[in-house]
Each structure stands twice: as C-alpha cells, then as structure tokens.
Amino acid sequence: MTVSYVPDPPWPAPSNASQYGRDLSCITDLGVDMAEATGRQVLAEALARRVITPNNTLLDCPEYGFDLTAYCNADIDRRTLAEISQQTKAQFLQDDRVLDAVVEVSYVGDVLIVAATIVDGAGPFRLTLSVDQVDVSLLKVG
C-alpha cells in the first residue's frame, strides 16, 4: 500500500490542523513503521476507507460504506460511472468534516480512478484514489 501526502500550493494548509486529530496511518492495514497521520491526511484516509468498505457491514452504522473494489474487472458504462460517482460523493458527505465534494470517476484498464475536490473547514483540496481488486492507493492529497 502506497500512501503519499503531497501538498498542492494553490490551496492553503489548514489553519487548525488539530481539527483533524492524529491517527495511525492506515487505509487497509497498518504499516510496519506504524507511521502517524496528521492534518488532512487523517481525513483523506478516512474517506478512502469509506469507499472500500461494503455497505451495511458496520453494526453501529449500516449506511457507512460503498465498496468501489466490487466494480473492478466489471463492464462499466457511462451510466455506471455516474452512479459510482454519486455514491462516492454521498459517502464523502457523510463525514462531518466534509462540507462539499465534487467527484469524478474514470475506469482505466481494471482500475477505478477517483478524482475529487473536497471542501472542508479550511477550504478545498484535491483527493485522488486508485482502486483495484487488491489495492487502494491514495495518490494525492493536497
């Protein structure tokens, strides 16, 4: 699992990074280095987990999750891509830290690419995910 944080200069860094908290960096599993995530990386990883968790699998939150990996290696048309985009946006908006989201999904080979502009309390930032059947990579946060 490759997770990278690359700040994007046009968007300001959050003025209050503590609003995101601190957590162990993790999307599908903890790294051997037990690295910590801070700032927007915490939010980005939480959003990535939302879109790889099958719906109705968390007992205390049945509406949590939309499993993008289920669409990998499938015949996907424009209508399906639009539905995936809407469901992904809906999941992002369920996170209280997200004020708005614009989500574009494309399908390249057997990989879904999710390119989103997320608006949180500090303003907009870009989030890009690569999703296939066995791996989810956070390509860019910033």
Question: Which pLDDT belongs to residue 61?
Answer: 84
Choose the CATH number for 20-141 among 3.10.450.40, 3.30.565.10, 3.40.630.30, 3.10.129.10.
3.10.450.40
**Structural contact between residues 64 and 53, judged by C-beta atoms closer than 8 angstroms:** yes
- In the chain, domain spans: 20-141
Q: Which conformational region is residue 21 in: left (phi greater than 0), alpha (psi within -120 to 50 degrees), or beta?
A: left
pLDDT digits (tens, 9 = 90+) for 16-73: 444 666 665 555 555 566 666 667 888 888 898 898 888 888 788 888 899 888 888 7
Model-level pTM?
0.76
